[in-house]
Structure 1
Amino acid sequence: MMIIRHAVHQDIDDIYILAEKSGVGLTSLPNNKDIVAARIARTCDTLNGQLSKAEQGYLFVLEDTDTGRVIGLSGLEVAVGLHEPFYSFHVGKQVHASKALQVYKTLDTLFLSNDYTGSSELCTLFLDERYRKNYNGNFLSKARFMFLAAFPHLFQPKIIAEMRGHCDENGRSAFWEALGHHFFNMDFITADYLSGIGQKVFIAELMPRYPIYIDLLPPDAQQVIAKVHQLTMPAYHVLQQEGFQYQNHVDIFDGGPTIESEISTLRAMKQSRLLQVNCTAHIQHDEVAYLLGNDHYQQFRVIQVKQKIDLQQQQIDINAQQAAALQVQHGDWIRVFALHALETH
């Protein structure tokens, strides 16, 4: 069985292995064991109420209970940009016009901004390649929405997600080479790593503060602005289905799109239901996949099931194994959410 739960210190070796496998682009969890340990500690301190809103964050793990190994990660930041500035490029327009010369020209620009200050953020999504099947990627991503639906008061009204931008098989980013590289004598992989260990603000503050005309960038750099990395496309489509949209902001390093949503409009907020547990050995299996979550803040658990569930009823049948995985008993209430949007008639 697969279970999603909060990361704990005993997971550090497995998480570090995943960080090594993730390669270039997962800036929120670089290949650095001290950073991994600090990220786990921050989750524990957040759960124990020891951090201010500016410092709070959650790291979830996907555990294969058959092996006891952590094989996936996903994260939530409570409020970005309150402790140190959060930068992105706003993709906008400037008009150059002269009535006397009968000239009217609209030019696309990049402008360094802090527009997402105070927003919550989805981050750190990675699944071991061997487990990219049976909807595990969707499960890992959407379990966070179960947590948001259970505890919306802990987060900000708006939530964002930075999508990994395009780079080639050698880790070269055309966007970085055309822009950031001119201000720093380092390659993209180095800049990406420094970003992940907390140097992103330092780098951003040395970027140009004036509008950058996109037409002045090389064609290969122009083409990757707001383009999602091939390996990140499935995650991008998942978030689109849950209510996220691109609103003309891109990452300052690789040009990947930042997408956003109001938490109140997420599908999980509208369609998840609280149902009362009926423990039974008789489960009706089905092809429709659901997420079941226990809504316990400190011992949060989510599992994925394929069984017949009527969301219009007040009760849900689960077996002893599912109840143990969720740490619930007969009569408790659990949150139920269809993994994919259900057709309505």
Structure 2
Amino acid sequence: MLVIRPIEQRDFPTLKQIAIESGHGFTSLPVNDELLQNKIDHSISSFSCRPAGKGECLYFFVAEDSDTGEVLGTTALDAAVGLSSPFYTYLLGKQVHSSRKLGIYNVVETLTLTNDYTGVSELCTLFLREQAREGMNSRLLSKCRFLFLAEFSELFDHRILAEMRGVSDDGGNSPFWSWLQEHFFSMDFPTVDYLTGIGQKGFIADLMPKYPIYVNLLSKEARAVIGKTHDKTRPALRLLEEEGFAWRGYVDIFDAGPSVECDLKQIRTVRNSRRLTVQVGHPVDAGKHLISNTRFDGFRALIGDLAVNEEKAQAVMTPEVARLLKVEDGDSVRVVEM
């Protein structure tokens, strides 16, 4: 069974291997020892002292196999993006060119560089290793974050963002970036992807076009991938769409992948989750639930069987599920039926 827990120092070797496996375009996990260690340190610091409100905190989780102890996935929450360094996106919009005298009326699409997501909370770093892509593991890895958001909502913005990886080939070549590279840059996509991942974003302000880009001036290949998602990222996007996330026209500045968003209180799992009291025993008529404890630094989540005693507002679970969640009789858990 997979159990979600905060990342620890001992997870570094596996985190580096996951960064290698994630491939091109997965900016939040650069193959760089210093940056990966910084992420672990940042998360441990964020969990060590619960803040009073939203700040530049990173809550990084791993999915651990309860039988083998092997880490098989990662997922994270960035409490506020763009506060210490700019967070850039393109906004797909429209401009009208018309002349009543000449009887001409043309609507053209534009891409405008923005910092509109500054201070917004982000879902990030979702990656499940290939050997674990079965059953409900993907759902656990994606949805566990919503139980954390529901339990500690005061630590996050009311807007929740998720950047989807855009289209690129196995060699890391992005059709969208290829057009930008030809006209404004002299770096290939894997290079800019890596520089962004390690935090060296100064070149964006220096070289990125300052004015809106007319979409009809882009190459046919670049236009075709605006707002499109990488094949390997589509399952993650579908899970978010089930939760109420939608595309509002913002895309990544490098690969044009869509950024989807949802109000925290409108996320389906957040809305449907509830707190119940633990009763350890032998549940009758148990069903599959997404379950987490309500601890901050000792957060645990899993998908397991439990029965709900509505009269007593109790979650009746087996000793094994209780052990993995690190809860006892009388403790609180947050649950949502799968």
TM-score by length of 1: 0.93
Q: Is 1:137 matched up with 2:129?
A: no
Contact 2:160 2:262 in 1 (8 A): yes
Query: In the alignment, residue 247 of structure 2 is paired with which amino acid?
Result: Y
Q: Residues 128-187 of structure 1: CA distance to partner in whole angstroms, max 9, x if unpaired? A: 011000110110010000100000000011110000001122221000001245322111
Q: Please name the residue that 1:342 is paired with.
A: none
Classify the secondary structure of the residue corresponding to 1:89.
strand
Distance 1:98 1:311, change over 3 A: farther
Classify the secondary structure of the residue corresponding to 1:20.
helix
Q: Is 1:73 matched up with 2:74?
A: yes
Unmatched tracts of structure 1, length 5 or more: 340-345
Q: Please name the residue that 1:21 is paired with.
A: 21
Distance 1:205 1:118, change over 3 A: farther
Q: Please name the residue that 1:319 is paired with.
A: 318
Q: Residues 315-341 of structure 1: CA distance to partner in whole angstroms, max 9, x if unpaired? A: 1111111111111111111000123xx
Q: Please name the residue that 1:5 is paired with.
A: 5
Contact 2:54 2:154 in 1 (8 A): no
Q: Which range moved further: 161-170 or 249-258?
A: 161-170
Q: Distance in 2 between matches of 1:203 and 1:235?
A: 28
Distance 1:54 1:309, change over 3 A: closer
Contact 2:83 2:119 in 1 (8 A): yes
Q: Please name the residue that 1:42 is paired with.
A: 42
Q: Distance in 2 between matches of 1:305 and 1:106?
A: 52
Q: Please name the residue that 1:262 is paired with.
A: 263
Classify the secondary structure of the residue corresponding to 1:85.
coil
Distance 1:249 1:201, change over 3 A: farther
Question: Structure 2 matches for 1:175-194, cutoff 5 A?
Answer: 175-194=176-195
Q: Distance in 2 between matches of 1:50 and 1:149?
A: 15
Q: Please name the residue that 1:238 is paired with.
A: 239
Q: Distance in 1 between matches of 2:26 and 2:295?
A: 28
Q: Which range moved further: 125-134 or 179-188?
A: 179-188
Query: In the alignment, residue 36 of structure 1 is paired with which amino acid?
Result: L
Query: In the alignment, residue 317 of structure 2 is paired with which amino acid?
Result: I
Q: Is 1:31 matched up with 2:31?
A: yes
Distance 1:25 1:316, change over 3 A: same
Q: Please name the residue that 1:203 is paired with.
A: 204
Q: Distance in 2 between matches of 1:174 and 1:240?
A: 25
Count of paired positions = 337
% of aligned pairs identical?
44
Classify the secondary structure of the residue corresponding to 1:235.
helix
Q: Distance in 2 between matches of 1:118 and 1:203?
A: 19
For the aligned residues, what is the CA RMSD?
1.7
Distance 1:101 1:29, change over 3 A: same
Cα displacement (A) at 1:312 = 7.5
Cα displacement (A) at 1:25 = 1.5
Q: Residues 216-254 of structure 1: CA distance to partner in whole angstroms, max 9, x if unpaired? A: 111111000000001000000100111111000000000
Q: Distance in 2 between matches of 1:205 and 1:277?
A: 56
Cα displacement (A) at 1:204 = 4.4
Contact 2:55 2:155 in 1 (8 A): no
Q: Which range moved further: 170-179 or 244-253?
A: 170-179
Q: Please name the residue that 2:228 is paired with.
A: 227
Q: Distance in 1 between matches of 2:82 and 2:127?
A: 23
Q: Is 1:300 matched up with 2:299?
A: yes
Query: In the alignment, residue 178 of structure 1 is paired with which amino acid?
Result: W
Q: Distance in 2 between matches of 1:317 and 1:119?
A: 37
Contact 1:79 1:121 in 2 (8 A): yes
Q: Which range moved further: 80-89 or 306-315?
A: 306-315
Distance 1:142 1:310, change over 3 A: farther
Classify the secondary structure of the residue corresponding to 1:60.
strand
Contact 1:273 1:311 in 2 (8 A): no
Q: Distance in 2 between matches of 1:56 and 1:5?
A: 16
Q: Please name the residue that 1:336 is paired with.
A: 335
Q: Distance in 1 between matches of 2:240 and 2:317?
A: 28
Contact 1:285 1:306 in 2 (8 A): no
Contact 2:306 2:315 in 1 (8 A): no
Q: Which range moved further: 227-236 or 42-51?
A: 42-51
Distance 1:109 1:324, change over 3 A: same
Q: Distance in 2 between matches of 1:166 and 1:278?
A: 47
Contact 2:306 2:316 in 1 (8 A): no
Query: In the alignment, residue 29 of structure 2 is paired with which amino acid?
Result: L
Cα displacement (A) at 1:307 = 4.6
Distance 1:47 1:181, change over 3 A: farther
Query: In the alignment, residue 123 of structure 1 is paired with which amino acid?
Result: C
Query: In the alignment, residue 329 of structure 2 is paired with which amino acid?
Result: H
Contact 2:57 2:80 in 1 (8 A): yes
Q: Residues 283-314 of structure 1: CA distance to partner in whole angstroms, max 9, x if unpaired? A: 3465x531110010010000111454466760
Q: Distance in 2 between matches of 1:311 and 1:108?
A: 53
